[in-house]
C-alpha cells in the first residue's frame, strides 16, 4: 500500500496555496513542492461561495501540476490531504470552505479532510493541529524545544524529549500587520518588516489592540476575529504606517515570548510559516527571548511545514476520507 500523500494547505493569511508530495514509506521525505497564488481578491474576500470555489479549483490545479512535474502518477498517491480554508473556528465546531467531495470527484482520487472537526470529535480543540507532526520531526530525547508557526495566527508546540508538553495558539502572527498593509493600499505584507523597522512603538496603541487576548490561558484555539475585531475599530489614518507596523510586530513577538517563558525557556526555538521571512520580526523575537532563533529550513522549508503536517495527519488517519 502506498505511503505517498499530497498535502495541500492554505493558512489564515490566505497568501498562497502550498502543496507537497510526502513519503512515509521508510522515513519522512518530501519529494516535490509547489506553491500557486490565489486570485487577487481571495485574501480579503468574505464570500464563502467564492472562497470555496477558488480553493477547490486551485487545489485541483495544484495536485494535477505537482503530479505532472514529479516522477509519480495518480495511482502512486494514497490520498490528498486537503486543509480547507478556515472561515471561523471555536472549540465546538470549525467552518471550512472548500469541498473535499468535489475535489475527489474531479481528480478521481481519495481526499482526506475535515481535520479540525475530527480533532474536536476526538476531544481536542481543533487547533493547532500540527503539534504531533512537530514532535514527529523535531522531538529528540533529553531536549526541550519550542516550534512556532507564524502564519496569520501564531501557534506553538513545546516539546520535551519525544512528547508534546504544551501546544496552543499564542496570538496574532501576520494577520494584523497584513491588515494594515492592505488597509493602507501598500500591498499584502511588509516585505522583510522594512516599514516596521523604521517605526516606533506606541505603548497606548499596543495596550488597546492586545487587550482582548492579553490574559487568555493555554492551551487554546483562537478564532482570528479575537485579534482583528479591535483593530477594525481604530482609525488607522490617525497613525503613521511605520508606527502601526512596529507596534503590531511588537505584539506578535511578545505573545511568542510569553509562551516561551511559560515553557520555561526551551533550549532551542524553531520558526516556520510566512512570518519567518520577516527579518525585523525575527530580530525583535531574538531580542526578547535573548536566544538565536532558527528556521525549520534544515528539516523542512518554512513554507511547507503545514502542508507536510496535513499529509502526516492523513497518514495518521486523523481526518475524514472522501472518495
Paired residues of 148 in beta bridges: 156, 271
CATH class of domain segment(s) 140-292: alpha beta
State the architecture of 4-127+304-322 in CATH terms.
Answer: 2-Layer Sandwich (3.30)
Give the global pTM.
0.94
pLDDT in tens, 60-116: 999 999 999 999 999 999 999 999 999 999 989 999 999 999 999 999 999 999 999
For 50, other C-beta atoms within 10 Å of its C-beta total 14
pLDDT at 160: 98
Residue range(s) of every CATH 3.30.420.40 domain in the chain: 4-127+304-322, 140-292
List the chain residues with pLDDT less than 50. Answer: none
Q: What pLDDT does 123 receive?
A: 94
pLDDT at 276: 97
Amino acid at each position: 500500500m502506498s505511503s505517498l500523500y499530497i498535502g495541500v494547505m492554505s493558512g489564515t493569511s490566505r497568501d498562497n496555496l502550498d502543496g507537497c508530495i510526502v513519503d512515509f514509506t521508510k522515513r519522512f521525505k518530501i519529494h516535490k513542492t509547489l506553491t500557486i497564488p490565489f486570485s487577487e481578491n481571495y485574501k480579503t474576500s468574505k464570500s464563502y461561495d467564492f472562497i470555496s470555489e477558488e480553493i477547490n479549483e486551485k487545489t485541483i490545479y495544484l495536485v494535477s501540476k505537482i503530479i505532472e512535474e514529479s516522477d509519480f502518477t495518480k495511482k502512486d498517491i494514497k490520498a490528498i490531504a486537503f486543509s480547507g480554508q478556515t472561515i471561523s473556528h471555536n472549540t465546538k465546531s470549525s467552518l471550512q470552505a472548500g469541498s473535499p467531495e468535489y475535489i475527489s470527484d474531479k481528480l478521481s482520487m481519495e481526499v482526506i479532510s475535515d481535520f479540525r472537526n475530527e480533532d474536536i470529535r476526538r476531544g481536542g480543540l481543533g487547533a493547532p493541529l500540527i503539534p504531533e507532526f512537530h514532535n514527529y520531526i523535531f522531538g529528540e530525547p533529553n531536549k526541550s524545544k519550542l516550534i512556532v508557526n507564524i502564519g496569520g495566527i501564531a501557534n506553538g508546540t513545546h516539546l520535551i524529549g519525544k512528547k508534546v508538553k504544551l501546544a496552543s495558539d499564542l496570538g496574532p502572527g501576520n494577520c494584523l500587520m497584513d491588515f494594515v498593509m492592505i488597509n493602507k493600499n501598500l500591498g499584502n505584507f511588509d516585505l522583510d518588516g522594512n516599514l516596521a523597522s523604521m517605526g516606533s512603538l506606541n505603548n497606548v496603541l499596543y495596550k488597546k489592540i492586545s487587550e482582548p487576548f492579553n490574559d487568555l490561558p493555554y492551551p487554546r484555539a483562537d478564532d482570528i476575529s479575537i485579534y482583528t475585531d479591535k483593530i477594525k475599530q481604530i482609525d488607522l489614518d490617525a497613525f503613521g504606517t511605520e508606527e502601526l507596523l512596529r507596534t503590531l510586530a511588537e505584539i506578535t513577538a511578545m505573545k511568542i515570548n510569553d509562551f516561551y517563558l511559560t515553557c520555561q525557556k526551551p533550549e532551542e526555538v524553531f520558526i516556520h510559516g510566512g512570518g519567518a521571512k520577516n527579518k525585523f520580526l525575527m530580530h525583535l523575537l531574538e531580542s526578547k527571548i535573548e536566544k538565536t532563533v532558527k528556521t525549520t529550513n534544515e528539516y523542512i522549508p518554512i513554507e511547507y511545514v503545514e502542508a507536510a503536517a496535513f499529509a502526516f495527519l492523513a497518514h495518521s488517519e486523523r481526518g475524514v476520507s472522501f472518495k
